[in-house]
A and B are shown apart, each in its own frame.
Chain A
Amino acid sequence: MRLNLRWLCLAVLVVSAPVMAAAGEGVTLPRWDQDTVELFASLPVQAGGRIKPLDTYAQFAMLKINGKRTFRTEGGLKIGPTEWIMYCLFFPEVTDTWKQFIVDRAEVVSAIGLTTHDKRRDRYAYSELKPGRQKLMELATQYQRKEARQRAPMEQQVINLAYNLREYESISQFMYFSTVHFHPDPEGRIGKALGVQEEGHATLSLMLQRVPALLSRMSTDKSLSDTERRELSDILHKMEKSVATAGTLSLFPPTDPEKKEWYSPADLLVAAFEPGHDLDTQFKLLGHLERLKALRDDPIAFHQEVLALHGGLKALAEARGEYAKIGVERAFYRGKYLFFSQWLYVLSFVLVALSWLVPQSKWLQRLIPPAVLAPTILLIIAIAFRCIIRGRPPVTTLYETLLFITASSALVAVIIEYINRQRIAVALGSIMGTLGMFLAYRYELKEGVDTMPSLVAVLDTNFWLASHVTTVTLGYAAGLLAAALAHVYILGKLFGLKRGDEAYYASVDRMIYGVVCFSLLFSLVGTVLGGIWANDSWGRFWGWDPKENGALMICLWALVMLHARLGHYIKDLGTAITSVVLGMIVTFSWWGVNLLGVGLHSYGFTSGILRLLVAFWSVETVVIILGFVVGQMDRMSASSSPGDQKTA
């Protein structure tokens, strides 16, 4: 009875769901119901060396092709990554006409002999790009022979577009195998042996179950006629052809726990003809996948097939202990922690800005610290989720340094606020949180690859990742926070904020000094730990590698600052100015050295970052100059009021 009710609910749901009118060939797109979408989203798939939900795979494929995680169809329907991949898989004739390929420069389109849209940056449909495909691939091959650093931006775009086109094709043509039917002569020996008399035709999954055994029986059968041999050979040829485009999604976990690689339909074909594989369950599950395309217009039957496919794949993955983190990863992405954290930081910044306009408002002042703490907690939750999913410490990639530095600098800012309640640190925490999260978002968008990738061999050590990388990254975070505090000092003095309130500036100075000490402690220990790791993996403690040198420069500059302060060469304003330089050195070490393209640490995305860095360094140079202007102003006011001697 419960089952019937469920059926009824489902039927109502499907009937009431909006139906999208497709742009192409009069096909009507169904709106998938959320249960089906969630089942599909949590199908496990092996990609990039790890097991992930299909939704994660779809997200990054979509991000790369479309530049966004959502797509609005011409019918006005907003769809997410899983729905997107479902439409691409089951309605490719429609998705081919969707304007979803982001092209940043129209020259790319004209270079492959096609008419461009009016806008320089626009989205194109596969059907629009297809006539230029051959030219695109030729150009991409030609440009790929060049070293990445030598390529013009347009050439890189051509390569990207070629990749995106291929990626899309690998998804949209993936289900082709399910449309191929085999028609052995039902009266012939082969047809009979394959047992296709009743159906009249057979699908790939059925053929995979029966052909290999038949082949091993018949290959030694001398009585096989030439016609029969040809029929067998045609079947084999057709089978091979049917899976030519079905290699992208490795959805089928092997039963053998020793075998690490999961099977795509194409891999199943290869494995079917190798001895010693037990693949019956996989073939049956392939059957469920196969039927989906034919059932695409029947949501109830479609749902049932997805349910069976999901259950079977989940059971196989669970038997290998490889399903446990699928749920965690789905929860991570469903929770949208990073998204909410980003916008809550923006909100906190709005509150900070309001508090500057209405400084006397007590409730605003009380509201700001929790408003900064809330997104920081969300961010920490997100980082914790990522650690659990990967079984790794928080920082293993350049992207994760962004998240970690944002979280730690905001957290340190909140702690400082708790200690001194000056409302300076917390305001900076809000600004750094907003900036950090936007940078992380932009970076993810630009890269368009899974931000939880498999790690290269040398990084396969949780001990060193946890100790060296985390420590040195905390050093970066503190260095940036010190620089941010220094801006408050310099710009505050310049614009007459709290004029004459020396206690206020002394307090900012103490904060800067404290944070620089914190930065030195973590940078120095982190750098030395990095050396010790290098000594264990490469046999040398120090190799003058650019990344090592960048970290050393942070330590050296912090030491110069502290010794200069101890020796009374600089005072509070000097500390502020040198802290701005510290911030510049941190960004050089964090991002700048990657631009050199040499050394052991040249990982991560760097193209396009140079402009941002140069802009940052230019602005900071102006701040330094302003710092000297402040010094001059101080001296002038000191000389005009001899009773109040104060030097920088």
Chain B
Amino acid sequence: MAIKNVIRSVFLFLSSYGVSMVLLFLLLVLTLFGTLEQAHIGLYEAQKKYFESFFLVHDLWGVPIPLPGGYLLMALLFVNLLFGGIVRARKEWRRPGMLIAHAGMLLMLLAGAVTYHVADSGYLTLYEGERSNEFQSYHEWEISIAQSGGGTQLIIPGERFVSMKQGESRSFFAPELPFELRLSGFEPNSRPASAPNSPDAVDGIALVPRPLATGNESNAAGAYAEVIEKDTGKTQRGLLWAFAQAPWSVEVGGATWMIDLRRKRWQLPFTVVLDKFHRDLHPGTMMAANYSSDVTEIKDGVSRQVEIKMNEPLRREGYTLFQSGWGPQNAGPDARLFSTFSVVRNPADQWPLYSCYIVTLGLLIHFLQKLVAYIRLQNRRSS
């Protein structure tokens, strides 16, 4: 009986207006701080710290303020909405508006969670005439180990090494590899520089750490790598740097291996060829009126011509390709151009749209009913 009472009290608490009010207010405060902070730490860091976190400490003019993070608040809001807005709410057929609107909001929060946990997003850059069937992440790293001339290829996902602390080293083994790879000195943003006296230097070059850039896309991760041959124990040292022109290549047992620290990559279920990139300017100005790419999409030997332009992406097999950039910026009139597409795989892609329909319907019904009641009241008063 007591347990039942406790469950009931917890349910009543979690579904209360007070909790909704506090959660919404905290989310508002978090949004305000996260917005203002973007000017200092950039969008990516602000997003991680404020909106994707469980807890955080905000620095307000030197005063540390502990706050629940966006992830936690939104999860609690989901529970509060479900209990308060759906389970506990009055279900009258004559007043369905709020129930519908709350259901729509639940779908919206759910879409957010699915996007956060499941979606992949990155980009694909192609010069005119080039083709590709993979896209890469804006933010995440990976290390690829590949045998030259094909054959074995292994990927070390970023989460296995980006959390390495200063002075820490980690070793990676695999049965198919004739060596062990040991990583150390990982830096999220670095640049190689001549440092013949540094104990870490490889051929006189060392990685110099740099402060994180506000635009996360311009951070270049780097690490020292050691390849230790399984048979002989022979060690070779090298540098891995994200913006390097070519992977580090090592000879082990007569075979050449390429080791590359790079943006995380995903495969597309089709191949994309950039036929032509167009940039239309407003006449007589340097202001772009539109960007578009003529693209051929190839799948199982069948090709289709499509145009990808601003506001009109290509949606295919769960992937969406958006026109997002172009270059080189200083290209002459006849220069070969490249086009960059944002690529997203998100099962919840269209959920916000459905949610928008539902919420709009719910709010319209509810507020119109209120308005009609108000007008009736006024009319009664004036008569």
Contacts and interface: CB of A to CB of B under 8 A. Distances in A.
B17 A596 contact: no
Nearest to A565: B17
A337 to B, nearest CB: 27
A556 B31 contact: yes
A256 to B, nearest CB: 13
Contacts of B31: 549, 552-553, 556
A248 to B, nearest CB: 11
Given A518-B367, A563-B21, A539 B343 contact: yes
Interface string A242-282: 00000000100000000011100000000000000000000
A528 B111 CA distance: 12
B18 to A, nearest CB: 6
A75 B64 CA distance: 66
- Chain B: interface secondary structure? helix
A587 to B, nearest CB: 13
B347 to A, nearest CB: 13
Contacts of B287: 49, 454, 456
Contact of B121 (A48, A461, A540): A540
Interface string A117-155: 000000000000000000000000000000000000000
B115 interface: yes
B150 to A, nearest CB: 33
Interface in B3-53: 16-18, 20-21, 24-25, 27-28, 31-32, 34-36, 38-39, 42-43, 46-47, 50-51
A49 B285 contact: yes
A636 interface: no
A464 B356 CA distance: 14
A318 interface: no
Most buried by A among B115, B291, B311, B352: B311
B111 A541 contact: yes
B121 A457 contact: no
B39 A597 contact: yes
Contacts of A12: none
A457 B374 contact: no
A363 to B, nearest CB: 20
Contact of B35 (A457, A460, A549, A560): A549
B311 A458 contact: yes
Interface stretch (B153-161, B231-239, B246-254, B357-365): B357-365
B46 A544 contact: yes
A567 interface: yes
A461 B284 contact: no
A529 B17 contact: no
B52 to A, nearest CB: 9
A541 B285 contact: no
B21 A557 contact: no
A46 B363 contact: no
A518 B31 CA distance: 22
Interface in A568-624: 569, 593, 596-599
Contacts of A628: none
B270 to A, nearest CB: 17
A517 interface: yes
Contacts of A62: none
Contacts of A540: 121, 344
A324 interface: no
Interface string B315-356: 000001010100000000000000000111000010011011
Interface residues of B, number: 63
Interface stretch (A196-204, A436-444, A519-527): A519-527
B342 A538 contact: yes
Contacts of B288: 456-457
B174 interface: no
Given A457-B290, A524-B359, A599-B43, A569 B35 contact: no
Given A262-B284, A458-B311, A510-B374, A560 B24 contact: yes
A514 B43 contact: no
A319 interface: no
Given A524-B359, A528-B359, A567-B21, A46 B320 contact: no
A455 B359 CA distance: 31
A550 B35 contact: yes
Contacts of B310: 457-458, 460-461, 537
B38 A560 contact: no
Contacts of B363: 520-521, 524-525
B21 A525 contact: no
Interface string B99-132: 0000000001001100100000100000000000
Given A514-B370, A567-B21, 5 more contacts: A49-B287, A460-B289, A540-B344, A546-B38, A567-B20
25 contacts: A421-B382, A454-B282, A457-B310, A460-B289, A464-B311, A514-B370, A517-B367, A517-B370, A518-B367, A524-B363, A525-B363, A536-B311, A544-B34, A544-B43, A544-B47, A544-B50, A549-B32, A549-B35, A552-B31, A553-B32, A563-B17, A563-B24, A567-B16, A593-B35, A598-B42
